[in-house]
Amino acid sequence: MAMMDVPLNSWLIFENAPKHAAGTEIVSQTGPDTLHRYTYADFGKRTQQLMHALDRLGLEPQDRVATLAWNGYRHLECYFAIPCTERVLHTLNLRLSPEDLTYIIGHADDRVILADPDLLPILEKIGEGLKSVKTVVVLGDSVPDHSLSTDVVAYEDLIADESESYPRPDIDEQTPLGICYTSGTTGRPKAAVYTHRSNYLHTIMASSGAGLSIGPSDCTLPIVPMFHANAWGIPFAATAVGAKQVFAGAHLDPKTVVDLLTNEAVTVSAGVPTIWMMVADELATRDTKPPALRHLVCGGSQPPRALMERYVNEFGIPFVQAWGMTETSPLASIAWPKHKMRDWSDEQLTDNVRTRAGLPVPGVEVTLRDESGNGVPWDGTSLGNLFVRGPFIIDSYLKGDGAEQFTEDGWFATGDVAIGDPDGYFVIADRTKDLIKSGGEWISSVDMEGAIMAMPGVDEAAVVAIPDEKWQERPLACVVVREGASVTVDDVKAHLEGRGWARWQLPDRVEIIEAIPKTGVGKFDKKVLRSQFG
């Protein structure tokens, strides 16, 4: 006997919620004091109207259709209408420079861009860089004043007269579904291409208990942008299981986020550490925590231990670290505790689980290798270069870029250095390029940053290597001090020594700065700091 051969494509994700969760809400913050509400039934009809509209724009199968948008219900409609008509969804990072966006739009050969009205000025700055684009669709009721020479149409006008039912095409599961570009911290951004099959498998994993743990009884609020590696797969996972979805749009201030968490009974939310730092300060001003919140997921960069402890000890909110990359679709590991740890203290869990990048999720293989390519033991101390492979991890970049990061036996070299422990968890020690080699010994900038951010009066800290004639490299700490506080180099050294750092590891310089520069996806941009202080 054989199993039914059903293609694993986007229709399997899209059709479930409008059919079986028709009355479940999708809520979007559309203004400082305004919310848009509709149901999966509405979503299903409008998404199929957009499918017809894309046909009418003359798009061919595999044409690239880009979005330049905040998190919201219209963006969610694009998430499904584009791949369900066999076109390729390309989410544009609105925080990238006009130069990078020009390169990405041209490299992808985007034919149509669907953009939020307030983001049209970004496209205006690109100007002639839009030469491949036939049409810009404004995600709104009308077209605002603009200087674009491309055809521009309002979204609601585009879909208004279309049918609410679209005949389901036969899409091969290996067909490209979407493109996400890396943030380009070194060199040009590179394009990761996801297939219908890879996205379906990632979606099922992400909704599982080993992933983000999202089911029909949940309500999700992804603070991570939908243009950042598909909001870590949350919109796909929530739609697949019919969970309620909440989107904050451009309104990412901590008050709005906490109001949404509270008023919409959000159970699962996800974002980068900087967001959760601001939300923690807002939560501290309120008497109650969001009542339905089951766990927060944090990723993008290593969260400070002090932040984890604050959520667990002060607010009683489980704080779960996740790790992944654009190239891994993106979730590759999540730091869930095991059954045997159910009676562990909060301190034990923080020491051995929460501070880890996590356990590899189902389907992802992880190996640690030394510089000669030999395996490194998972003994809790040995450093190794991190390699991953799996059914939703890419095996190449678009147009053959970055071929050196892929091995002949199918592994992807992440560029991270990690330590594995006997329990199967691993922790990211550093990016390969961010490790500091001082006198022949390695210093982890990530570990030092976390230790400094545990200091009272410190909001953020980034550590980079600066050249040194005697020791080759020495650590420099860039520190953002909380308003009204004071931090000196001696304070930092004393604090680190008190936490077990050896004297030779301590930073020689501390620079007090107003803010740590960030990449387009919210990570510390250390190349800017190295350029400024190195």
Strand partners, 321: 298
Report the distance separating Cα 314 and Cα 286, nearest Å.
12
Provide the 10 A C-beta neighbour count for residue 105: 23
Report the distance separating Cα 166 and Cα 50, nearest Å.
9
Q: Which of 86, 327, 449, 460 is catalytic?
A: 327
User: 79, 236 in Cβ contact below 8 A?
Assistant: yes
Our CA angle for 473, 478, 480, nearest 5°, is 170
Active site residue 164: no
Q: Which of 19, 125, 433, 437 is catalytic?
A: 437
Axis crossing angle, helix 73-84 with helix 40-56, rounded to the nearest 10: 50
Going from the C-alpha of 31 to that of each of 248, 279, 478, the distances in angstroms are 9, 19, 36
Provide the 10 A C-beta neighbour count for residue 277: 18
Active site residue 442: yes
Active site residue 70: no
Residue found by looking up tokens 């201030």 in the block: 253
> DSSP assignment, residue 379?
S
User: 249, 72 in Cβ contact below 8 A?
Assistant: yes
Strands 64-68 and 110-115: parallel
Burial of 470 (0-12, 13-18, 19+ CB in 10 A): exposed
Q: Which of 164, 255, 442, 511 is catalytic?
A: 442
Strand order in the sheet with 135-138: 151-154, 135-138, 110-115, 64-68, 88-91, 176-181, 191-195
> Which of 274, 264, 340 lies closest to 302, judged by CA?
274
Report the distance separating Cα 486 and Cα 488, nearest Å.
7
> Which of 38, 391, 103 lies closest to 246, judged by CA?
38
Active site residue 365: no
Give start and end residues of each alpha helix (H) in 208-341. Answer: 234-241, 254-263, 273-284, 305-309
Report the distance separating Cα 80 and Cα 321, nearest Å.
28
Q: Give the list of residues 6+ apart from residue 255 with CB closer than 8 angstroms, or none.
A: 282
Q: Which of 30, 47, 182, 328 is catalytic?
A: 182
Burial of 188 (0-12, 13-18, 19+ CB in 10 A): middle
Burial of 262 (0-12, 13-18, 19+ CB in 10 A): middle
User: 520, 183 in Cβ contact below 8 A?
Assistant: yes
Give start and end residues of each alpha helix (H) in 57-164. Answer: 73-84, 98-108, 120-126, 155-159
**Catalytic annotation, residues:** 182, 327, 437, 442
